[in-house]
Amino acid sequence: MFLALLLGACSGASSTELFERGAGGAAPSASPSASPTDTPSPDMTDDDAAAQTPDGGKKDATSPTPPAQPKNPMAGAGAVTKVAVGYGSLEGPVWRSASSSLFFSDLDGNSIERFAPPATFSTYRFPSGGSNGLAVDAQGQLVVCEGKNRRVTRTPSNGGAPEIIAAEWQGAKLNAPNDVIVRSDGTVYFTDPDYSVQGARELEFNGVYRVGPNKVMALVADDLAKPNGIALSPSGATLYVTDEASGFIRAYDVASDGATSNPRKFAEASHPDGMAVDDTGNVYVAVETGIAIFAPDGSSWGTLPVPQQPANVAFGGSTGKTLFITALDTLYAVDLEVAGPP
């Protein structure tokens, strides 16, 4: 079966064959408002990392250039199209500029998958330790929330053994790290809810943490019921966290040393999950019916409908204007007129 796919932003092709996992064995080779409202596979190699640029991290956020003025991201948006189907339960997409490819987790498959446009699919890592959220740091290294292993790791670009970034808090095992974001200075922020705790729970709360370049771990929050998605503003001065249980999206001020302060309600949505932020500061949140989009002041641009309930989103492609969406067993993509950091 063939399906037109609007991936010109990431591949230069106007169409590609829809990949169906498990079908035929191998993968193939080849009206919005004008303003917002208030409503074991081999790991990465040196060749993979050779072309890495400083903006290689997922939502690599600290930039000396102020963001452009927010524009309505729903204006001129293309159709939401299927890229691949037949997985288990998809999560954690992240675009890696060095290899011009998207990495994403299959929770049911216990694997990290890789999509290199226009139509190359492969399993990057199996088993993955129950990988969920993924990020890429400024050195092109993959940062992984390993939910089943109850830890966050970093995979060296040369394909070496993963380095443990965080596995405990004050001597107690983490719950099940869920989503992660890396600032350009190397600070790692991640959420740690109790969705899939393997073994006895050792922490009495669901937390949000940061680990600085000096490897010192700090608690960002312990008062969210189900901290889930996490993202940074383009300047790196604001951290966003979704609380799936309450429906609140919380914002924090971020200091130059990575410390957070001034927690506050940014917006509200129905069961908010993973997030992404575009270059103008708009915030994209996976919700029950699609992707809810908020302006930097928290007002709503509306919701981009998705055929299946989405779990997470990430910008990617050669121009950064393709929004990839993981939803149940399917990977979707939509082209926008606004770009986002990978």
Has residue 198 been placed in a domain? yes
Residues 175, 193: contact at Cβ < 8 Å? yes
Query: Which range of residues forms the domain containing residue 321?
Result: 2-335
Q: Determine the average pLDDT of the residues in 307-335.
A: 98
- Pairwise pLDDT comparison (73 vs 157), residue with the higher score: 73
Has residue 342 been placed in a domain? no
pLDDT (0 to 100) of residue 63: 43
32: pLDDT strictly greater than 70:
no
Has residue 340 been placed in a domain? no
Has residue 341 been placed in a domain? no
Q: Determine the average pLDDT of the residues in 181-186.
A: 96
What is the average pLDDT score of the chain?
85
Q: Which segment of 137-151, 157-171, 246-260 scores lowest on mean pLDDT?
A: 157-171
Q: Which segment of 40-54, 128-142, 166-180, 293-307 scores lowest on mean pLDDT?
A: 40-54
Number of domains the chain contains: 1
Residues 6+ apart with CB under 8 A from 64: none
Has residue 49 been placed in a domain? yes
Q: Cα(first)–Cα(last) distance of the chain, in Å?
A: 30
pLDDT band at 117 (very low <50, low <70, confident <90, very high): very high
Q: What are the helix (H) ranges across the chain?
A: 8-11, 46-49
Ordered DSSP codes for 171-240: TEE------EEE-TTS-EEEEE--TT--SS---SS-EEEEE-TT--EEEEES--SSEEEEEE-TTS-EEE
Has residue 237 been placed in a domain? yes
- Pairwise pLDDT comparison (292 vs 198), residue with the higher score: 292
Distance CA 282, CA 300 (A): 10
pLDDT (0 to 100) of residue 67: 57
Q: Which segment of 199-208, 229-238, 256-265, 320-329 scores lowest on mean pLDDT?
A: 199-208
Has residue 305 been placed in a domain? yes
CATH code for the domain of 203:
2.120.10.30
Q: Determine the average pLDDT of the residues in 127-144.
A: 96
Q: Determine the average pLDDT of the residues in 233-242.
A: 98
Q: Report pLDDT digits (tens) over 262-290.
A: 999 999 999 999 999 999 999 999 999 99
pLDDT (0 to 100) of residue 45: 41
pTM of the model: 0.84
Has residue 45 been placed in a domain? yes
